[in-house]
Amino acid sequence: MERADRFRDPGVRLWHFAKEILVRCPRCDGRALVAVHPEHRDGHAYAVGWLTAPHRLTCAGCSYVAEWTPRPWRTGAGDAYFAGRGVLVVPELGGPDDPYFGRPLWLRGACCGRVLWAYNLAHLELLEAYVRARLRERPESPGSQTLLERLPAWMKAAANRDEVLAAIGALRDLA
């Protein structure tokens, strides 16, 4: 078992956390969920398959439901995914809004003059473990551009550790 002051990067990417994204409901401003539409959850051999699958936003608080369907790809529209249903635009992950409906993330708040955000509780827990650690080790398998390697410098800075952990704690209280 690893000590609390030591952390090894598990090598995950942001898309690992994009299957369930907590957002603010457009109707009641409560907590809502963006996830792959139930009819399209199975049969995706690669992450890009479920990233470009139809999605649904649901709010348990007010029963709001919205549907998102993938857009056909056009030059300059972003990354393309060649699927059985045509060439589709891959939603761009990252930032304090969800990539499907453009809704503000539920887990987002001010920190160090910037915005700290997470897609869901598992994402937030990974950030917390990383920030809390005094010794941060690279992933076992070589490679680059893991989610943690791509974090902004202000989140990685030891000088900001206490403020970042306090912001993560406040977001955890929302979850």
In angstroms, the Cα distances linking 144 to 27, 44, 104, 124, 139 are 40, 25, 28, 21, 9
- Kindly state whether residue 127 falls inside one of the protein's structural domains: yes
pLDDT of residue 4: 63
**Statement to judge: residues 83 and 138 lie in one domain:** no
- Kindly state whether residue 8 falls inside one of the protein's structural domains: no
**Statement to judge: residues 118 and 81 lie in one domain:** no
**Statement to judge: residues 31 and 85 lie in one domain:** yes
**Statement to judge: residues 26 and 60 lie in one domain:** yes
pLDDT of residue 77: 83
Beta bridge partners of 136: 7
pLDDT of residue 2: 47
The residue range of the domain holding 159 is 107-174
Count up the domains in the chain and report the number.
2
Measure the CA–CA gap between 166 and 163, rounded to whole angstroms.
5
Measure the CA–CA gap between 78 and 75, rounded to whole angstroms.
8
Q: What is the pTM of this model?
A: 0.91
Q: What are phi and psi of 115, to 5 degrees?
A: -115, 125
Q: What are phi and psi of 55, to 5 degrees?
A: -120, 160
pLDDT of residue 29: 98
Tens-level pLDDT at each residue, the chain (175 residues):
345 689 999 999 999 999 999 999 999 999 999 999 988 777 777 788 889 999 999 999 999 999 999 988 988 888 888 877 788 899 999 999 999 999 999 999 999 999 999 999 999 999 999 999 999 998 877 666 899 999 999 999 999 999 999 999 999 999 8
pLDDT of residue 1: 37
In this structure, what DSSP letter does residue 144 have? S
- Kindly state whether residue 166 falls inside one of the protein's structural domains: yes
- Kindly state whether residue 101 falls inside one of the protein's structural domains: no
According to DSSP, the β-strands at 6-8 and 135-137 are parallel
